[in-house]
């Protein structure tokens, strides 16, 4: 038999799925525009602000359900996980906007050496796949997909640190490319971290198991 709280949980679930779709679009637009050398700042900014608004709405809805129904056990676990995931989707948008701002202020990769262009393109591809995976795993509460995020995140972390080392070794002096690319690789690494947080939340809400991916 349906419970009163179930309607609210269903509304939240649909809201998060919509947030995931918008977050994925925002990150993809920002990263691809940076790589291709085109501006998308205005669109990314609007999408990022939409995610902030939706995150606030999700938080308010979650707190409302907690106050009204005083949930325990699995219901409380789901609500806590939903609120965390909404925040992580908001952070996707924030870092996507940071990438677009870096392009606006410093330009893209026009002045970059070929190895930098290839490196950032590869790292971006991994991060975009993580964002996609985090959104897909939420739709079906697929813990296996969520756990698969871990290996790619380790690769992204490793690439970020290797990139800094290679810049120190190979960059003769600071230029616009160096500054821009360091900022963008850092933002990519942070997006990957939030994909991991989403994966952990999905595993927790589906199984009650707290894991550190």
Domain count, the chain: 1
Helix (H/G/I), strand (E/B), else coil: 126: helix
Q: In 176-207, which positions are buried (b, 16+ CB within 10 angstroms) versus exposed (e)?
A: ebbebbbbbbbbbbbbbbbbbbbbbbbbbbbe
Polymer length in residues for the chain: 213
Determine, yes or no, domain membership for 213. no
Phi/psi region, residue 73 (left: phi>0; alpha: psi -120 to 50; beta: rest), is left
What is the average per-residue pLDDT within 175-195? 92
CB atoms closer than 10 angstroms to residue 110: 9
User: Residue 144 belongs to a domain with what CATH number?
Assistant: 1.20.58.220
- pLDDT of res. 1: 60
Determine, yes or no, domain membership for 212. no
- pLDDT of res. 174: 59
Q: Does the pTM of the predicted model rise above 0.85?
A: yes
Q: Which of 60-64, 109-113, 199-203 has the lowest mean pLDDT?
A: 109-113
Determine, yes or no, domain membership for 154. yes
CB-CB contact of 87 with 55 (8 Å): yes
- Please enumerate in sequence order all residues whose Cβ is within 8 A of that of 85, keeping only pairs 6 or more positions apart, or say none: 16, 138, 198, 201, 202
Determine, yes or no, domain membership for 82. yes
What is the average per-residue pLDDT within 159-174? 81
- pLDDT of res. 84: 96
* Average pLDDT value for the chain: 93
Q: Please give the Cα distance from 147 to 3 (Å, whole number).
A: 31
Q: Please give the Cα distance from 7 to 24 (Å, whole number).
A: 26
Determine, yes or no, domain membership for 107. yes
Q: Please give the Cα distance from 55 to 43 (Å, whole number).
A: 18
Determine, yes or no, domain membership for 113. yes
What domain range includes position 72? 4-207
Q: Confidence class of residue 172 from pLDDT cuts 50, 70 and 90? A: low
């Amino acid at each position: 038999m349906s419970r009163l709280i179930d309607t609210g949980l269903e509304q939240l679930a649909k809201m998060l799925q919509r947030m995931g779709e918008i977050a994925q679009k925002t990150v993809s637009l920002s990263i691809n525009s940076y790589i291709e050398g085109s501006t998308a700042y205005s669109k990314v900014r609007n999408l990022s602000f939409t995610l902030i608004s939706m995150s606030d709405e999700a938080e308010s809805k979650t707190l409302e359900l907690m106050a009204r129904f005083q949930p325990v056990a699995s219901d409380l676990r789901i609500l806590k996980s939903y609120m965390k995931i909404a925040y992580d989707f908001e952070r996707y948008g924030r870092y996507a906007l940071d990438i677009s701002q870096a392009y606006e202020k410093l330009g893209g990769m026009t002045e970059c050496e070929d190895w930098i262009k290839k490196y950032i393109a590869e790292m971006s591809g991994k991060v975009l796949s993580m964002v996609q995976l985090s959104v897909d795993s939420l739709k079906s509460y697929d813990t296996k997909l969520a756990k698969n995020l871990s290996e790619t995140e380790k690769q992204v972390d490793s690439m970020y640190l290797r990139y800094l080392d290679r810049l120190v070794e190979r960059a003769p002096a600071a230029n616009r490319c160096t500054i821009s690319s360091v900022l963008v690789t850092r933002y990519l690494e942070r997006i990957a971290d939030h994909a991991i947080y989403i994966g952990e939340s999905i595993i927790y809400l589906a199984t009650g198991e707290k894991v550190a991916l």
